[in-house]
Structure 1
Amino acid sequence: MKLDLLLKAATRVAFGLFVLGSLVSCSSGSEKLRPAELAPNAGLLGVRLAWSSKVGTIDFPLQVNVNGNTVTVASSDGVMASFDARTGKELWRTSVDAQVAAGVGSDGRFAAVVTRGNELIVLDAGREMWRQKLSAQSFTPPLVAGGRVFLLAADRSLMAYDAQSGRKLWNQQRPGESLVLRQSGVLLAVGDTLVAGLSGRLVGINPSSGATRWESPIASPRGTNDIERLVDLVGRVSREGDVVCARAFQAAVGCVDAARGNLLWTKPANGSVGIHGDDKYVFGVEGDGKLVTWRRTDGERVWVSERLRYRSLTAPLVVGRSIAVGDDAGLVHLLSREDGSPLTRVATDGSAIVAAPVLAAGTLVVVTRSGGIFGFKPE
């Protein structure tokens, strides 16, 4: 599994960031582990392709944004598009004329992305409103909420902008670690609190002022070098009411009461993609493709499935009585929530599923690396 990391070079200027590519293998030696062979499709769920569309190639950590019946996506070359998830009808499409590094954030009206040139760009119904130059890179989609745009940058800074004018409202700067993940982090609203992932902690912030309300650790740095001590939180998260559960990269999974800032539990876990869940369980994919289920109340394991090992899975999504995950062959697997047994699988265009599946208006929407957008519905 290829993991891109940002390295702050001590011998360069303090704000100089450089990309460090590191190949982390789940196997010992040079032999690539063989993906688990798939049994014949169980076909226990009826699922049909309702619609499909296309944007450009996607090679950044895309987050498919869902707002009501609308899904919004972006491609690496700067094309942004919004669709009605019920029918696949294109609502708008535009180009920001820049390579995209993070996105998409949207509240249904304003949509935001960050470019590789470190610009935050905000659109109103597909029309560019403003863009602001940033002092650091960002790989986490902006959060658009309450008439504001919130941004988590790679140097651990948090910013808030007025969505209409682009005026900066506040900035919170924290000491940056030597390494940060080049993938989407954690940034969401829970009630009147902005919740962000900073290193291995969930942090509750006053969205009006940027003042910290609470901090709760999912994982703590460990090891003797920068890579071993990396404990970034990764998106997606599982939220039920005020309880937010998140994964710390290759370290742990844990849940926090975001109303009080209390850590409810944390358990060791070795995965690099986000999690999802319901009111009973939290579901996650480990680095070797095992699907693990934790009890939401106390974090105890419920079951583990090894049927999809080494298939480079996305973060999971709870869909009715099933869990949906995508793989690097463009397949979407729907598994039983109760024991991980296969229910059915559907194919896309053969390129890797590049973002965690989403559910909008009863439609399962997945996006592939080649830019294919597919909407599946139960028969």
Structure 2
Amino acid sequence: MVCRSVLLRSVAAAVLVASVSACSLWGGRAAKPVAAELGPNVAVLGVRQAWTARVGKIELPLELHVNGNVVTLASSDGVVAALDAKTGSDVWRAMLGEPLSTGPGSDGKTAAVVTRANALVALESGREKWRQQLPAQVFTPPLVAGGRVFVLSSDRSVAAYDGATGRRLWTQQRPGEPLVLRQAGVLLALGDTLVVGLSGRMVGMNPNTGVTQWELPLASPRGTNDVERLVELVGRVSRVGDSVCARAFQASVGCVNTARGAVAWTQVASGSEGIHGDDRAVFGTEGNGVVTAWSRVDGSRLWSMDRYKHRKLTAPLLLGRSIVFGDDSGTVHLVSRDDGAPLNRISTDGSGIAAAPAVASDTLVVVSRNGSVYGFRPD
């Protein structure tokens, strides 16, 4: 017997889609562990709320896209908004009137989302430019780069569309395990290379043709059944020059050197959210709420901290001396990059933080599951 919240058959994609959930061996939901007490907040680093804004409820894979001082995001019911990070006011807002399966990708001019009916929709200044029907479900926000829109679908196909007309330029499909995650994968531009996460491998493609240029494993399928063999790379990723670091779902964290076409290192790690970092370190939140730092050079563990154990944490953001992440109580935590010591914590509306925090125009931007958007600045 399989817990229904873990496995969902996608008719359109003809695949099984796995989502993150805790199920007991008997098919029911396991009891949730009690979260560690936080204790009193000692604000070592002063932070103030600068503004708030609203979109609809968020129950989709969302990444806050930052272009200059503009942050683009979307709600599950079809609201797509570009906000000025200085004020929180709308640069533009579109109400598509249909539910979405992904948040937006944006290059600052064109934004693209995918609806639950598998339509890829391109917007410019809040107006629909074009739409194209896709053959499968999509959970990774589209990548808008180089005048094109790239899509990673749940059938492990990758496709490119002309950003001006929506004409499909090419498509490539790879075989793989029958399960995929119902959350955002890896899809980014790196110079003249399109970098895609396919199963547990990071793949470099020619963005003009889709031809594979290199392929590097961060994790391999293991186990005796489809659930145990599930392995996918998840967003967000940390890129510094030719170094790209990513997490393989519930398996590992690792870095690759794209110039040499080689895996720099991998370390066993049991988490489901992406990572962030700089040229010195990579930071991640594990599935049990432990926060860990690894050396970017060789993957050695720098420190690990369990103060937030059994809280469901977002992927982190490295911001100056702080690592910033949210939890399922709607609290935003700031801890020291050097040792994980708490620097401050901020409350929101209590509905849970919906996406990894982002920074734009010296403003920390956070969005809740209920669709409240917050801008915070240092005191």
SS at match of 1:154: coil
Contact 2:233 2:247 in 1 (8 A): yes
**What's the offset of the Cα at 1:22?**
6.8
Aligned counterparts of 1:347 and 1:151: Cα–Cα separation in 2: 35
Residue in structure 2 matched with residue 241 of structure 1 by the alignment: 241
Query: Partner residue of 1:23?
Result: 21
Tell me which residue corresponds to 2:190: 190
- In 1, distance between residues paired with 2:30 and 2:58? 28
User: Per-residue deviation at 1:361?
Assistant: 1.1
Whether the aligned pair in 1 keeps the contact of 2:76 and 2:100 (CA below 8 Å) is yes
CA contact (8 A) 1:6 1:180 kept: no
One-letter amino acid of the structure 2 residue matched with residue 178 of structure 1: P
The answer as to whether partners of 1:330 and 1:353 remain within 8 angstroms in 2 is yes
TM alignment of 1:314-333, pairs within 5 A: 314-333=314-333
Deviations 1:323-356 (A, max 9, x none): 0010011110000000001000111111100100
- 1:44-83 superposed matches below 5 A: 44-83=44-83
| Structure 1 segment 120-135 matched on structure 2, within 5 A | 120-135=120-135
Q: Flag the 1:5–1:72 CA change in 2: closer, same or farther, 3 A.
A: farther
CA distance in 1, matches of 2:315, 2:25: 21
Instruction: Work out whether residues 22 and 30 of structure 2, in 8 Å CA contact, stay in contact via their aligned partners in 1.
Output: no
Q: Which residue of 2 aligns with 1:338?
A: 338
Call closer, same or farther: CA 1:176–1:155 in 2, change over 3 Å: farther
> For the residues of structure 1 that align with 2:326 and 2:364, how far apart are their CA atoms?
11
Deviates more, 1:172-181 or 1:243-252: 172-181
Residue deviations 1:194-227 (CA, integer Å, cap 9, x gap): 0000000000000011110000000001111111
Change (3 A) 1:344 1:63: same
Aligned to 1:268: 268
Task: Provide the secondary structure at the position in 1 that maps to 2:113.
Answer: strand
Alignment partners' CA distance in 2, 1:22 and 1:112: 25
Residue of structure 2 in register with 1:201 after alignment: 201
Distance in 2, Cα, partners of 1:120 & 1:285: 31
Equivalent residues of 1:204, 1:261 under 8 A apart: no
Give the letter for the 1:369 counterpart: R
Cα distance between partner residues in 2 of 1:21 and 1:66: 26
Following the alignment from structure 1 to structure 2, what is the Cα–Cα distance between the partners of residues 27 and 178?
21
**TM superposition score normalised by structure 2:** 0.95
Counterparts of 1:85-164 in structure 2, within 5 Å, are 85-164=85-164
CA distance in 2, matches of 1:50, 1:95: 26
Q: Residue 261 of structure 1: CA displacement? A: 2.1
Q: Distance in 1 between matches of 2:177 and 2:298?
A: 31
Structure-2 change in CA distance of 1:339 and 1:27 (3 Å): farther
Aligned residue type for 1:24: A
Report the Cα distance in structure 2 between the residues aligned to 1:352 and 1:2, rounded to whole angstroms.
23
Unaligned runs of at least 5 residues, structure 1: none
In 2, Cα distance between the equivalents of 1:240 and 1:332?
25
Q: Percent identity?
A: 59
From the superposition, tell whether residues 91 and 5 of structure 1 become closer, same or farther in structure 2 (CA, over 3 Å). Answer: farther
Task: Answer yes or no: is the 8 Å Cα contact 1:4–1:182 preserved in 2.
Answer: no
Counterpart Cα distance in 2 of 1:169 and 1:107: 19
Tell me whether 1:38 sits opposite 2:34 in the alignment: no
Q: Which moved more, 1:256-265 or 1:115-124?
A: 256-265
Contact 2:7/2:17, CA 8 A, preserved across alignment: yes
Superposed displacement of residue 178, structure 1:
1.1
Q: Cα gap change, 1:154/1:45 in structure 2, threshold over 3 Å: closer, same or farther?
A: same
**For 2:25 and 2:39, how far apart are their aligned partners in 1?**
23
Partner of 2:297 in structure 1? 297
| Residues 16 and 178 in structure 2, CA contact (< 8 A), matched pair in contact too | no
Quick one: distance in 2 between partners of 1:53 and 1:319? 22
Deviation at 1:141, TM superposition (A): 0.4
Q: Name the structure 2 match of 1:181.
A: 181
Q: 2:166 — aligned with what?
A: 166
Tell me if structure 1 keeps the 8 A contact 2:147–2:164.
yes
Q: Residues 133 and 205 from structure 1, CA distance in 2 versus in 1: closer, same or farther, beyond 3 angstroms? A: same
Within a 5 Å distance, the mapping from 1:335-374 to structure 2 comes to 335-374=335-374
Instruction: Measure, in 1, the Cα distance between the counterparts of 2:174 and 2:214.
Output: 15
Question: How far has the Cα of 1:32 moved from its partner?
Answer: 2.1
Query: Is there any run of 5+ residues in structure 2 with no aligned partner, and where?
Result: none
Counterparts of 2:225 and 2:25, CA distance in 1:
21
Relative distance call for 1:67 and 1:22 in structure 2 (3 A) is closer
Give the aligned residue type for 1:157.
S
Counterpart of 1:347, as a letter, is S
Task: Deviation per CA, 1:48-67: give whole Å up to 9, x if none.
Answer: 00011001111111111111
RMSD value, Cα: 2.0
Higher alpha-carbon deviation: 170-179 or 295-304? 170-179
Contact 2:16 2:180 in 1 (8 A): no
Give the whole-Å Cα distance in 1 for the aligned partners of 2:49 and 2:173: 46
For residues 337 and 96 of structure 1, the distance between their equivalents in structure 2, rounded to whole angstroms, comes to: 40
Asked whether the equivalents of residues 119 and 133 of structure 1 are also in contact (C-alpha less than 8 Å), the reply is: yes
Give the letter aligned to residue 134 of structure 2.
L
Distance in 2 between residues matched to 1:2 and 1:260, nearest whole Å: 43
Distance 1:26 1:86 in 2: 46
